[in-house]
Amino acid sequence: MNMESFLQMNTIFISILIEALPFILIGVLISGTIQMFVTEQMMARLIPKNRFLSVLFASVIGALFPACECGIVPITKRLMTKGVPLHAAIAFMLTGPVINPIVLFSTYIAFGNSWKMVFYRGGLAFIVAIIVGFILAAQFKTSQLKNDDSIQMKSLSLKARFIGMLKHSIDEFFSVGKFLIFGAFIAASVQTYVKTSMLLDIGNGFVSSHLVMMGLAYVLSLCSEADAFVAASFRSSFSTGSLVAFLVFGPMLDIKNTVMLLGTFKAKFVLYLTLYISVTVLVVTLFV
């Protein structure tokens, strides 16, 4: 490891942290608010009882949360501890970082005020989330969280709830933060020592170009608010379909996000989820 490579890795590592921390903060604050102000009865009334309708509902609700893929994990966990079923929570987690207005607007700007990529990205992300949610609804009947730390807060005063929200958010921030740091370090190392040109050389085929761009999205671990500008820089080298694969897959699954998922869910479930997301994104983007 020479000094120049080390400094480059250090710069990438810090930039990933700076990019992700504001959204982690938003995520844990929303998580704390859900914990202290949203009751299980509220969630029971909100989420449809039908498994497939709940997936559709959660996929749409994901558009309302301006969180990136790292900030959405603590929100997803908190919703599950409040009674949201696994399949609906994951559908919410997959759409939230992709189809929220901030991400779609950045995509519109990055691709020269073009609505085409916005519709491709938002529409296919929605389809992927529904398909994966339906598969999970059929396969898993129980929560796959490592632990359930939900607590009852119904009898507390408003002041006590607010203080509890802040305390919970701080605890969640440090809990999630260690996974973010570890994931950011791995992502920075891979970006430094795995040459992008090597990926580009094998990305000339119809299917391989999609796989390469999905791999690149996983390795770069960009926040979804910024990844469209990186994708736009590959327009001369890759097809529209492979660019959409980059834009859909990255916010759903990347290195730092995977580490955080492993800290929240059982490893076997994360493996299944990774497989389902990867295959579904590849298949649906091949039709573009």
For the segment 96-146, what is each residue's pLDDT rounded down to a tens digit?
889 888 788 888 988 888 899 999 999 999 999 999 999 999 999 888 998
- Per-residue pLDDT of 168-225, as tens digits, reads 788 878 876 777 787 778 778 877 886 666 666 666 678 888 998 898 889 888 778 7
Rounded-to-integer distance, Cα 217 and Cα 228, Å:
11
Domain borders along the chain are 3-144+154-285
Distance (Å, rounded) from C-alpha 202 to C-alpha 253? 21
| Tokens linked to 26 | 């938003």
Structure tokens at 107: 């995509």
What is residue 155's predicted lDDT score, i.e. its pLDDT?
64
Stated pTM of the model: 0.80
Highest average pLDDT, of 1-15, 50-64, 69-83, comes from: 50-64
Average pLDDT over residues 284-288: 90
Please check the confidence at residue 278 and state whether its pLDDT lies above 90: yes
